[in-house]
Amino acid sequence: MPAKLEVITGPMFSGKSAELIRLLNRATYARKKILVIKPSIDHRSGENRIAERAIKNGKSAVVEDFPAFSIGTLEEFWHLVNKNDFDVLAIDEAQFFTQPWFVSVDFIAAVQELLDKHSQEDFRIIIAGLDMTAQMEPFGPMPQLLAMADEVTKLTAVCFNCGATARYTQILGGTGEEIQVGDLDLYEARCRKCHVKNKT
């Protein structure tokens, strides 16, 4: 099988990390060698894991997790990739691989380089991330990764306001900066009707 890029996307609370972990568990059962990477600025579940989270009693709680490496630079990315032997590379919260921490084009080029290098092998890159910011704008490298993908899984959530299908992330406060790491304290899933831009 040739190399394959799979992208999982959707708003917050749509189950992106849960779907990523499901695929990684399947790869584990198939005895694949797995490398999981996440951005170091996402510290919600700790430094050494990605996590499926669920809302219980009005709070966000970890349901299942999977070991991961946190990175903050492209050099750290290549260090991990070059020193590990793997068939599956998983990258969670890929929208954060953008300025000021990363240059999106460099991250995209790294993904393409790995796909080219392993083009004739049974090799998978699975990427999960938000496709849009809370202002309903394309988020970091995700648009290009979606265009490059061999397979796209686009998930939806449930609108916190009315219960309809939600495709958007609503920010409830914060600093006004585009990149703010948060959970239920800062974000909700919203449908198009209930979403409000520039809400701070």
- Residue 14: give its domain's CATH number: 3.40.50.300
| Percentage with pLDDT > 70 across the chain | 86
Residue 198 lies in a domain: no
In a domain, 186, yes or no: no
Residue % of the chain over a pLDDT of 90: 69
- Catalytically annotated residue among 6, 19, 52, 93: 93
What's the number of domains the chain is made of? 1
Between CA 47 and CA 71 the distance in angstroms is 9
Lowest mean pLDDT segment, chosen from 51-55, 57-61, 118-122: 57-61
Model pLDDT for residues 113-172, shown as the tens digit of each residue: 999 999 999 999 999 999 999 999 999 999 999 999 999 999 999 999 999 999 999 998
Establish if 197 belongs to a structural domain: no
Tell me if residue 91 falls in helix, strand or coil.
strand
Structural domain range at position 102: 4-155
172: in domain: no
**Residue 93 a catalytic site member:** yes
Q: List pLDDT tens digits, range 88-124.
A: 999 999 998 887 667 778 999 999 999 999 999 999 9
CA-to-CA distance for 173 and 116, rounded, in angstroms?
A: 42
Q: Determine, yes or no, domain membership for 139.
A: yes
Check: CB of residue 70 under 8 Å from CB of residue 93.
no
Q: Does some domain include residue 192?
A: no
Q: Is residue 40 part of a domain?
A: yes
| HSE-CB of 177 using CA atoms within 13 angstroms | 8
